[in-house]
Amino acid sequence: MKNFSLLVVFLSQTIFCQSSLTTNIDGRKTVSLNGDWQIIIDPYENGYYNYRYEPSDWGYFKNQKPRTKSDLVEYDFDKSETLKVPGDWNTQKEKLFLYEGTIWYKKDFDYYLEKGKRLFAYFGAANYKAIVYLNGNKIGEHEGGFTPFNFEITNLVKEKDNFLIVKVDNKRSREFVPTVNTDWWNYGGLTRDVILVEVPSTFIKDYFIQLDKNSKNEISGWIQLYGEKLKQNFHIKIPELQEGFSISTDESGFCKFNFKAKPVLWSPENPKLYNVLVETETDTVTERIGFRRIETKDANIFLNGKPIFLRGISAHEEAPLRGGRANNEEDARIILNWVKELNGNFIRLAHYPHNEKIVRLADELGILIWSEIPVYWTILWDNEQTYLNAQNQLTEMINRDKNRASIILWSVGNETPLSNERLIFLKKLTERVKELDNTRLITAALENHYINDSTIVIDDPFGEYLDVIGLNEYLGWYDGLPDKADRVNYQTKYNKPIIVSEFGADALQGFYGDSLTRWTEDYQVNVYEHQVKLMKRIPNLRGMSPWILMDFRSPRRPLPGIQDFYNRKGLISNKGIKKKAFYILRDFYTGIEKNSW
Nearest alpha-carbon partner for 374 in 193, 184, 192, 553: 184
Q: Between 317 and 415, whose beta carbon lies closer to ligand GCU?
A: 415
> Residue 428: what residue type?
K
Q: Which is nearer to ligand GCU, 37 or 547 (CB)?
A: 547
Helix (H, G, I), strand (E, B) or coil at 456: strand
Q: Tell me how far apart the alpha carbons of residues 380 and 375 are, in angstroms, rounded to a whole number.
A: 10
DSSP class of residue 564? S
User: Does the protein bind ligand GCU through residue 415 (CB under 6 A)?
Assistant: yes
State the minimum distance, in angstroms, from the CB of residue 197 to ligand GCU.
34
For residues 579 and 524, is the Cβ–Cβ distance under 8 A? yes
Are 483 and 543 in contact by the 8 Å Cβ rule? The answer is no
The C-alpha atoms of residue 208 and residue 398 are separated, in whole angstroms, by: 11
What's the min distance (Å) between Cβ of 351 and ligand GCU? 6
Q: Looking at beta carbons only, is 157 or 313 nearer to ligand GCU?
A: 313
Q: Is 2 exposed, middle or buried (0-12, 13-18, 19+ CB in 10 A)?
A: exposed
**Residue 567: CB minimum distance to ligand GCU, A:** 5
For ligand GCU, the closer CB: 346 or 566: 566
Return the number of the residue (273 or 468) whose C-beta is nearest ligand GCU. Answer: 468
- Strand 498-502 relative to strand 541-544, pairing: parallel
- φ and ψ at 348, to 5 degrees? -95, 115
Site for ligand GCU in 31-90 (CB under 6 A): none
Q: What is the DSSP string of 331-395?
A: HHHHHHHHHHHTT-SEEEE-SS---HHHHHHHHHHT-EEEEE---BSS--TT-HHHHHHHHHHHH
> Which residue in 402, 335, 392 sits closest to 365, CA to CA?
335
Backbone angles phi, psi at 120, to 5 degrees: -120, 145
Site residue total, ligand GCU (CB under 6 A): 9
Residues from 344 through 373 that contact ligand GCU (CB under 6 A): 351
Q: Provide the minimum distance between the beta carbon of 90 and ligand GCU in the complex, in angstroms, as a whole number.
A: 18
Of the candidates 146, 208, 547, 582, which one interacts with ligand GCU according to CB under 6 A?
A: 547
Residue 109 or residue 474: which is nearer to ligand GCU going by CB?
Answer: 474
- By CB under 6 A, is residue 568 in contact with ligand GCU? no
Beta-strand ranges (E) seen in 23-127 are 29-32, 35-41, 82-85, 102-109, 117-123
Kind plus residue range of the DSSP H or E element containing 209: strand 203-211
291 binds ligand GCU (CB under 6 A): no
Q: How far is the CB of 58 from ligand GCU (least distance, A)?
A: 42
C-alpha 466/C-alpha 468 separation (Å) is: 5
β-strand pairing of 441-446 with 449-452: unpaired
Cβ nearer to ligand GCU, comparing 61 with 462? 462
Sequence-separated (6 or more) residues with CB below 8 Å from residue 547 = 314, 472, 502, 503, 504, 569
Which of 280/501 has CB closer to ligand GCU?
Answer: 501
**Smallest distance, Å, CB 445 to ligand GCU?**
6
Q: Which of 42, 45, 183, 467 binds ligand GCU (CB under 6 A)?
A: 183
Q: In the complex with ligand GCU, which residue's Cβ is closer, 45 or 415?
A: 415
| 567 makes contact with ligand GCU (CB under 6 A) | yes
Whether the Cβ atoms of residue 497 and residue 542 lie closer than 8 Å to each other: yes
- The answer to whether 212 contacts ligand GCU (rule: CB under 6 A) is no
CA separation for the pair 451, 296 (Å, rounded): 28
CB 430 within 8 A of CB 387: no
Q: Each residue of 478-487: b (16+ CB within 10 Å) or e?
A: eeebbbbbee
Backbone angles phi, psi at 388, to 5 degrees: -60, -35
Q: Least separation, in Å, of the C-beta of 447 and ligand GCU?
A: 9
Least Cβ distance, residue 32 to ligand GCU (angstroms): 33
Q: Does 185 bind ligand GCU (CB under 6 A)?
A: no
**Nearer to ligand GCU by C-beta: 396 or 502?**
502
Whole-number minimum distance, CB 414 to ligand GCU, in Å?
5
> Residue from 232, 282, 443, 472 that binds ligand GCU (CB under 6 A)?
472
Residue nearest to ligand GCU (CB): 183
Min dist CB 490 to ligand GCU, Å, is 17
Question: Which of residues 553, 569, 578, 579 is near ligand GCU by CB under 6 A?
Answer: 569
Q: Whose Cβ is closer to ligand GCU: residue 204's or residue 350's?
A: 350
Sign of CA dihedral 75, 78, 79, 82: positive
Between 285 and 347, CB nearer to ligand GCU: 347
Nearer to ligand GCU (CB atom), residue 325 or residue 404: 325
Contact 247, 218 (CB under 8 A): no
In the complex, the smallest distance separating the C-beta of residue 513 from ligand GCU, rounded to whole angstroms, is 20
Instruction: Quote the least distance from Cβ 348 to ligand GCU, whole Å.
Output: 10
CB of 318 to ligand GCU, least distance (A): 12
Cβ 376 to ligand GCU shortest distance, Å: 7
> In the set 127, 345, 414, 430, which binds ligand GCU (CB under 6 A)?
414
Distance of alpha carbon 446 from alpha carbon 351, whole angstroms: 13
Nearer to ligand GCU, 34 or 554 (CB): 554
CB-wise, 395 or 531, nearer to ligand GCU? 531
Instruction: State yes or no: residue 502 binds ligand GCU (CB under 6 A).
Output: yes
Give the shortest CB-393-to-ligand GCU separation in angstroms.
17
Helix 580-595 × helix 521-535 angle, to 10°: 20
| Residue numbers at the binding site for ligand GCU (CB under 6 A) | 183, 351, 414-415, 472, 502, 547, 567, 569
